[in-house]
Chains A and B, each alone.
Chain A
Amino acid sequence: MENKAIICRDLTKQFGDFKAVDSISFDVDQGEIFGFLGANGAGKTTAMRILCGLSYPTSGTALVAGFNVYKQQEQIKKNIGYMSQKFSLYDNLTILENIEFYGGVYGVSRKDIKTRSTELVSTLGLENEAKKLVGSLPLGWKQKLAFSVAVFHRPKIVFLDEPTGGVDPITRRQFWDMIYQAAADGITVFVTTHYMDEAEYCNRISVMVDGRVEAMDTPSNLKKKFNTHSMDDVFYELARGAKRSGD
């Protein structure tokens, strides 16, 4: 149990008659890069909201960083980081102000905020931009900064919801360098993506279809199982029978 970042058993979320998440079970190891894939409307977002302590399941159990998704939502929130393509940083705050704000919200001490933010700004090579508004940064930089901010409080797990959508191919790869670095530092990475090459960068992936986890394994085992060389084909085979299509 010690080395599991997430333990999920028969997790279900029902809206009326509709099972958005239908009895999913999986474990994610500490330090693992876990790809959470699925067709549109498969229930990924609903499942992620539960795991992030933002929504209660209807039934089943889940432990995130050792905390119960029913009773310990606040502890979960303190121990995870979150970043998405849609919302990441405040455009009207400077880079430093954003870092200070997030650090403060997550209860990082003033002293640590100061040392770590100087460190972070220099690692990202943003010394000259530190006092500029985030809104003025190119998208690629913003996303890299957003990721750094999401792991600023050294969470056990970071949830990334399509972090590289719309990002250029070089920045996309630099972003994955950061993911690898975080994983090497022991942070568990839980990531969704529509780029199938990125699925290959994950240690393991799961594919959700119509609320259920239809497949879960290493990318190479999945390709073997479906007798193909591309994750695109694996995904297509699994998802083409999907009855639902949503956001």
Chain B
Amino acid sequence: MFSITVKNIIKTYNGVKAVDDVSFDVKKGELFGLIGPDGAGKTSLFRILTTLLLADSGTAEVEGHDVVKEYQTIRNKVGYMPGKFSLYQDLTVDENLKFFAAIFETSIEENYDLIKDIYEQIKPFSKRRAGKLSGGMKQKLALCCALIHKPEVLFLDEPTTGVDVVSRKEFWDMLAKLKEQNITILVSTPYMDEARLCDRIALMQNGKIMSVDQPENIVNSFPKLLFAVKSKNIYPLLEALRTDKDVESCYAFGEYLHLTLNEDGKLQAVIDIASRYHPEDLEILEITPTIEDSFIRLMHEQKEVNHGK
């Protein structure tokens, strides 16, 4: 059974298609990621699915309920953590929790198991106003409030944006635990490295889904051999390689350059090409692509399709 089904959703703002004919399904209990930069259409989709925004056309269901006709039913079944902190800044941590519990006609105690791990981290600040919490604590409180009524589906819009590596890791650990409770989670993120923590992902750009699959399938469907190149003075090498006639693409990836050739060749072919530019301490290896490699490749394909029109 599907927890979320999205069919041909289109949403336009002032003539700009924020969501452009998007369709996908999320299975019950799945941790599904919408991966893409700002402006990809992620937030609009979240707002449509949480019944806060009407699509221009297309249909969507959450737990079998239509987002337009049965919006009230859906609101009782979902938890939503928007990208922007949206709790009451002037209420304390406890007051916020009690408020959300009261609205959903439940209590903190009733589903305490679900929020226990997270709640215990913010408990020392229970009398502090939400507005005075640190970023990481606000995030944890928001997650608690979104979970307080034991939702069947959890919507998390960019929960880790602007958050440091340590807190991001903690947050994903929390999601893994929630997944064990069979809660369906739809999460969005601009960080490509978080994609591999999801069961399935949709790569989004300019309102469109470029690919939907398991992260490893997306990576495996990369159509070319990919090489990592490293040398001293890497920047001049990058500039040289990306204009080389035999090089199809060349991008900086941390300390390496990732490179594909117009015609797939063995490692030696790449060594020959790179050697044209006399790099020092040249190191080249064939590598498995990352989601970011796939994303860049799909962006190029999308552009070519658009130019074709």
Residue of A166, A235, A244 near B134 (CB, 8 A) is A244
Distance (whole angstroms) from the CB of B128 to the closest CB of chain A: 13
Q: Which chain A positions have C-beta within 8 A of B161?
A: 165-166
B254 touches A231 (CB 8 A): yes
B-contact 0/1 string along A200-220, CB 8 Å cutoff: 110000000000000000011
The answer to whether A194 and B162 have CB atoms under 8 Å apart is yes
The reply to whether A41 and B135 form a contact with Cβ atoms under 8 Å apart is: yes
> By the criterion CB–CB under 8 Å, are B235 and A162 in contact?
no
Closest to B256 in A: A200
Cα A200 to Cα B253 in complex, Å, equals 9
> Interface size (B, Cβ < 8 Å)?
32
Contact (Cβ within 8 A) B255 A219: yes
Is the C-beta of A38 less than 8 angstroms from some C-beta in chain B?
Answer: yes
Residue among A40, A171, A173, A180 making CB contact with B135, cutoff 8 Å: A40
CB distance from A32 to the nearest CB of B (A): 14
* CB pair A239 B134 closer than 8 Å: no
Contact, CB under 8 Å: B255 / A40 = no
- Which of A38, A139, A201 touches B252 (beta carbons < 8 Å)? A201
Specify which chain B residues have a CB less than 8 angstroms from the CB of A178 in the assembled complex: none
* A240 interfacial contact with B, CB 8 Å: yes
A196 near B292 (CB under 8 angstroms)?
no
Taking a contact as CB atoms under 8 Å apart, the answer to whether A173 and B166 are in contact is no
- What chain A residues lie within 8 Å of B73 (beta carbons)? none
- B37 touching A173, Cβ below 8 Å: no
Q: Mark A61-99, 1 if CB is under 8 A from B, else 0.
A: 000000000000000000000000000000000000000
Interface residue? A119 (CB, 8 A): no
CB distance from B102 to the nearest CB of A (A): 29
Q: Which residues of A contact B96 (CB under 8 A)?
A: none
Chain B residues near A245: list those with CB within 8 A.
134-137, 167
Known contacts A40-B164, A139-B37; decide if A176 and B136 are in contact (CB<8 Å): no
Asked if A15 CB lies within 8 Å of chain B CBs, one says no
- Give the chain A neighbours of B163 by CB distance below 8 A: 40, 194
Nearest-neighbor residue (CB-CB) of B121 within chain A: A245
Whether, in the assembled complex, A2 has its beta carbon less than 8 Å from a beta carbon of chain B, the answer is no
Given contacts A236-B166, A239-B164, contact A173 B136 (CB under 8 A): no
Q: Which residue of A lies closest to B169 (CB)?
A: A236
Smallest Cβ-Cβ distance to B293: which chain A residue: A169
A40-B192 in contact (CB<8A)? no
A230: B residues at CB distance < 8 A: 254
A17 at the binding interface (Cβ < 8 Å): no
- Asked whether B295 is an interface residue with its Cβ less than 8 Å from the other chain, the reply is yes
- Decide: A239 and B165 in contact? CB cutoff 8 A: yes
Q: Would B165 and A200 count as touching, CB distance under 8 A?
A: no
Contact B252 A173 (CB under 8 A): yes
- B109: Cβ under 8 A from any A Cβ: no
Bitwise, B31-47 to A at CB < 8 A (1) or not (0) is 00000111110000000
Contact at B135–A165, with CB atoms within 8 Å?
no
A-chain residues with CB within 8 Å of residue B267 when the two chains form the complex: none
CA distance A38 to B163 in the complex (A): 10
In the complex, whether A232 has a CB less than 8 A from a CB of chain B is yes
Report the separation of the CA atoms of residues A180 and B251 in the bound assembly, to the nearest whole angstrom: 14
Q: Across the interface, do A242 and B166 meet the contact criterion of CB distance under 8 Å?
A: yes
In the complex where A38-B164, A235-B165 touch, is A169 in contact with B255 (Cβ < 8 A)? Answer: no
Whether the Cβ atoms of B253 and A240 lie closer than 8 Å is no
> Considering the chains assembled together, what is the distance between the CA atoms of A240 and B169 in angstroms?
10
Nearest Cβ distance between residue B208 and chain A, in whole angstroms?
Answer: 13
Q: Provide the bound-state CA to CA distance between A197 and B255, in Å.
A: 7
Interface residues of A in 129-147 (CB under 8 A from B): 138-140
Measured between alpha carbons, how far is A244 from B235 in the docked complex, in Å?
A: 36
The reply to whether B164 and A139 form a contact with Cβ atoms under 8 Å apart is no
Interface pair B37/A167, CB less than 8 Å apart: yes
Given contacts A168-B205, A173-B252, contact A41 B292 (CB under 8 A): no
Report the nearest B residue to A239, measured CB to CB: B166
Interfacial chain A residues near B40, Cβ < 8 Å: 168
A1 an interface residue at 8 Å Cβ cutoff? no
Q: Identify B38's interface contact among A167, A196, A244, CB under 8 A.
A: A167
Given contacts A170-B296, A231-B254, contact A236 B165 (CB under 8 A): yes
8 further A-B pairs in the complex, CB-CB below 8 A; given A40-B135, A139-B39: A140-B37, A167-B37, A168-B299, A194-B165, A197-B253, A199-B254, A235-B166, A236-B165
Q: List 19 A-B contacts (CB under 8 A).
A: A40-B163, A139-B39, A167-B38, A168-B205, A168-B299, A176-B252, A194-B162, A194-B163, A196-B254, A197-B252, A200-B255, A230-B254, A236-B165, A236-B166, A242-B166, A245-B134, A246-B136, A247-B134, A247-B135
Task: Report A's interface with B, CB cutoff 8 A.
Answer: 38-41, 138-140, 162, 165-171, 173, 176, 180, 194-197, 199-201, 219-220, 230-232, 235-236, 239-240, 242, 244-247
